[in-house]
């Protein structure tokens, strides 16, 4: 079963408008972390925002906010006031306490966002 599901392969948004990128996750752990990364065409993964499973408030970082609904196991990314430079691939990822010590990230398949002028 997929641990991270991003159901939107591609999204379009008009410049200056807000957009929501969907992410659902699957875990049986109580302690976990959720991340969003941006990957422009250059390839580098850029960290955007983090939400811990015990955090009661939704995380915000500038124009990015994470709509965390624990019971529904969803962690949607909201980008407000979209800019042309926001056009990129966006990945949702989860870090769980696993049996080993690695605590690596598990990524979804991504959403390609295109901001239209």
Partner 1 sequence: DTGVSQDPRHKITKRGQNVTFRCDPISEHNRLYWYRQTLGQGPEFLTYFQNEAQLEKSRLLSDRFSAERPKGSFSTLEIQRTEQGDSAMYLCASILGTGGNEQFFGPGTRLTVL
**Which residues of this protein are in contact with partner 1, per CB under 8 A?**
4, 33, 35, 37, 42-47, 50, 52, 91, 93, 95, 100-102, 104-110
Q: How far is the CB of 50 from partner 1 (least distance, A)?
A: 5
Separation CA 67–CA 58 (nearest Å): 6
Residue 34 or 115 with smaller CB distance to partner 1: 34
Q: How far is the CB of 35 from partner 1 (least distance, A)?
A: 8
């Amino acid at each position: 079963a997929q641990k991270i599901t991003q159901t939107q392969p591609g999204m379009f948004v008009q410049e200056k408008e807000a957009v929501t990128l969907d992410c659902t996750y699957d875990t049986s752990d109580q302690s976990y972390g959720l991340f969003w990364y941006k990957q422009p065409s250059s390839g580098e993964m850029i960290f955007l925002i983090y939400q811990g499973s015990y955090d009661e408030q939704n995380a915000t970082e500038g124009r990015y906010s994470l709509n965390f609904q624990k019971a529904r196991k969803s962690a949607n990314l909201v980008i407000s006031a979209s800019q042309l430079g926001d056009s990129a691939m966006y990945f949702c990822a989860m870090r769980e306490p696993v049996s080993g010590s690695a605590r690596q990230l598990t990524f979804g398949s991504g959403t390609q966002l295109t901001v239209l002028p």
